[in-house]
């Protein structure tokens, strides 16, 4: 079904990608495949009101999970452009199949992210499970097109929290604490992903107008966020019941509607950020650092001076000094 520039298919994603998505056409895949642990029985694990959960979730039998994972990840790798990226949300039970398939098709790890999440499960004879894995990979071979990573899309490079630490640094650490959304009395899919989590992945790893794909639409949460952020979208859902119920909602999602509500990062990047250090700069850095320390400045004060003088961030200065053995 076409809605604006966006395409939604009710059917198997492997067959669907083969038929409808050309090689190298997708900039970003964000997806949450079935977990192979009885997703259709998730209500036994979660304490929640099942009356509002949309039924029809298609689970993959455990015995077929490895083969199923290799097949869809092979298609995902084909449709990604060189330097295109993929985020796969996975539990730990079948994580080894996902890691194996990613390696087999030659996608390259960027980060292995831990998403700390309030499952709502309760155990008394072992630790309480409270995380998912997010495998963040890219397709190699993009000499001309660099990987899109908008490193200051949420917090500016110099923004500090109340304790003086860098908000930008904290937001880019690979452990994410984002809680599930409570939507009492509203329809939801089984394990629907939170909007804040999806916005983070789409904002950092794509630009307005890019093509985003989710092979496992479920509650269409990735689609709503991607279209809301002005990206183009293509997605698949095997369940007739879920698809017909949720696809209609897409007509009411304004293209780019979420862009207005985005936080504006404050502050400017240091003037020489990302510029390669020249030999003369490295020599001057060492000289000025040693001079400041001899004058009795603390390391922190010397660093602040050097940041201004060389137009670089704290970590760039620290790394450059470390390379010079200081």
Ligand X SMILES: C[S@@+](CC[C@H](N)C(=O)[O-])C[C@H]1O[C@@H](n2cnc3c(N)ncnc32)[C@H](O)[C@@H]1O
Q: Which residues bind ligand X (CB under 6 A)?
A: 12-13, 32-34, 57-58, 189, 191-193, 215-216, 218-219, 221-222, 236-239, 242
Q: Least distance from C-beta 260 to ligand X, angstroms?
A: 23
Closest residue by beta carbon to ligand X: 218
3-state secondary structure of 141: coil
- List phi, psi (to 5°) of 203: -70, -45
| Unique residue bearing structure tokens 């452009």 | 81
Distance CA 25, CA 41 (A): 35
Distance CA 291, CA 278 (A): 20
Side by side, which strands form the sheet with 175-177?
2-3, 6-10, 232-237, 211-214, 26-31, 80-90, 131-138, 108-116, 175-177
Classify burial at 281, counting beta carbons within 10 Å of its beta carbon; exposed 0-12, middle 13-18, buried 19 or more. middle
Q: Which is nearer to ligand X, 20 or 268 (CB)?
A: 20
C-beta separation of 140 from 82 below 8 A: yes
Q: Least distance from C-beta 227 to ligand X, angstroms?
A: 14
Q: Which is nearer to ligand X, 89 or 152 (CB)?
A: 89
Q: Which is nearer to ligand X, 204 or 216 (CB)?
A: 216
Q: How many angstroms separate the Cα of 131 from the Cα of each of 72, 155, 240?
A: 24, 24, 30
Q: Least distance from C-beta 288 to ligand X, angstroms?
A: 52
Q: Which is nearer to ligand X, 188 or 312 (CB)?
A: 188
Q: Least distance from C-beta 268 to ligand X, angstroms?
A: 36
C-beta separation of 21 from 211 below 8 A: no
Q: Which is nearer to ligand X, 10 or 288 (CB)?
A: 10
Q: Least distance from C-beta 239 to ligand X, angstroms?
A: 4
Q: Which is nearer to ligand X, 9 or 137 (CB)?
A: 9
Q: Least distance from C-beta 8 to ligand X, angstroms?
A: 11
């Amino acid at each position: 079904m076409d809605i604006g520039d966006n395409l939604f298919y009710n059917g198997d994603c492997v067959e669907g990608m083969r038929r409808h998505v050309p090689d190298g056409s997708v900039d970003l895949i964000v997806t949450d495949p079935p977990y192979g642990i009885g997703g259709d029985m998730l209500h036994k694990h979660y304490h929640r009101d099942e009356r509002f959960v949309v039924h029809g979730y298609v689970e993959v039998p455990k015995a077929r999970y490895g083969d199923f994972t290799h097949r869809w990840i092979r298609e995902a790798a084909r449709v990604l452009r060189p330097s295109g990226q993929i985020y796969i949300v996975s539990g730990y039970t079948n994580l080894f199949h996902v890691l194996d398939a990613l390696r087999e098709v030659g996608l390259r790890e960027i980060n292995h992210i831990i998403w700390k999440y309030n499952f709502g499960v309760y155990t008394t004879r072992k630790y309480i499970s409270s995380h998912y894995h997010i495998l963040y990979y890219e397709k190699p071979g993009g000499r001309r097109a660099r990987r899109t990573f908008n490193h200051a899309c949420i917090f500016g490079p110099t923004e500090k929290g109340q304790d003086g630490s860098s908000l930008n640094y904290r937001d880019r650490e690979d452990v994410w604490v984002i809680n599930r959304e409570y939507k009492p009395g509203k329809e939801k899919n089984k394990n629907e992903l939170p909007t804040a989590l999806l916005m983070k992945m789409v904002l950092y790893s794509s630009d307005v107008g890019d093509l985003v794909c989710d092979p496992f639409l479920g509650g269409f949460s990735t689609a709503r966020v991607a279209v809301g952020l002005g990206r183009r979208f293509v997605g698949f859902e095997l369940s007739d019941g879920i698809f017909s119920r949720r696809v209609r909602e897409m007509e009411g999602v304004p293209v780019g509607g979420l862009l207005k509500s985005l936080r504006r990062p404050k502050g400017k990047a240091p003037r020489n950020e990302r510029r390669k250090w020249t030999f003369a700069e490295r020599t001057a850095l060492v000289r000025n650092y040693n001079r400041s320390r001899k004058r009795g400045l603390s390391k922190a004060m010397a660093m602040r001076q050097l940041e201004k003088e060389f137009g670089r961030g704290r970590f760039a200065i620290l790394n450059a000094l470390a390379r010079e053995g200081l």
